[in-house]
Amino acid sequence: MRLIHFFFGLSAYAAFHAVFIYFAGFLANFQVPKSINTPVVGNSIFQSLAIDVVLIALFAVHHSAAPRAFFKKWLQKHIPAHLERSVYVMMSSILLALLMWQWMPVTQEIWRVEDSFGKFPITVLFVAGVVSALVASFHIDHYDLFGMRQVYCHLRNLPYTPPIFNEKGLYKVVRHPIMLGTLVVLWATPVMTVGHFLFAISMSLYIFIGTFLEERDLLVTLGGTYGNYQKRVPMIVPFFRGRRPTRRKQSAAEGGGTPSGQ
């Protein structure tokens, strides 16, 4: 059974990275069978937009709710704790794959950059977003983030301890560099269609809501340690700190702990 659990975790890890690579091609309209702008006949604009909104909502609700403590507590009543992260990663991969498979493009253009002088920096920015999101995952515990360390510890009968709070690499620039990279990837395109715009604006909204919820959890888990980190490092936009956390939130979160690894 330990080996089966390990291979499930490995499958979830592989599935995510396969979907992530396809997702980059999907947004860039590059070397994939179906991209975000590949025309699909048979639906009206309103039907296409309705289907796309439902697909985005399915992904966003799962991706925002599943990492929360109440959902983890419920899930661990039904599966072993060491599989919880792998199940989350697998479901996220399936829902993102479903979104790309069933996506109904709306190809009316909002902007188009034709000349190579304009397209080149946009392409560089897109690649930088993809690379920075991947690199940032290694500046925390990459294998814990995707569930591999949990199933490996279970396979080897080793004690599992959550990763400690660690401020290094891109996490010295912003508190959520993976989300920053994702935002760049969503918007850095030479051709912005109505469908792509819907996807970008919806996922951007999800990112900020999900980040707010994660920050709230981290304040409860890490207390003043994370509160001080919030004061020093911007959330997503480099060099822009925005509103500082309130004294009430910081005092309610005292008690320390370890990061939730979300």
**What size, in residues, is the chain?**
262
Count Cα atoms within 13 angstroms, Cβ side, for 261.
22
Domain hosting 102: range is 2-252
Residue 260 falls inside a structural domain: no
Dump pLDDT digits (tens) for 31-42.
999 999 998 877
Q: Is residue 262 part of a domain?
A: no
Spell out the residues 6+ positions from residue 127 whose beta carbon is closer than 8 angstroms to its own. Answer: none
Q: If you average pLDDT over every residue of the chain, what do you get?
A: 87
Q: Would you call 185 exposed, middle or buried from its count of C-beta atoms within 10 A (0-12, 13-18, 19+)?
A: buried
pLDDT of amino acid 222? 83
Beta strands 109-112 and 191-193, pairing class: antiparallel
Does the residue 72 lie in any domain?
yes
Mean pLDDT of 90-110: 95
In this structure, is residue 215 part of a structural domain?
yes
pLDDT for 241 equals 62
Residue 261 inside a domain? The answer is: no
Q: How many CB atoms lie within 10 A of CB 36?
A: 25
In-domain check, residue 135: yes
**Model pTM above 0.85:** no
User: Looking at the 3D structure of the chain, how many domains does it have?
Assistant: 1
Residue 127 above 70 pLDDT? Answer: yes
> Does residue 168 have a pLDDT over 70?
yes
244, part of any domain: yes
Task: Indicate whether 190 belongs to any domain.
Answer: yes
pLDDT tens, 55-83?
A: 999 998 888 788 777 888 888 889 999 99
Query: With contact defined as beta carbons under 8 Å apart, do 109 and 191 qualify?
Result: yes
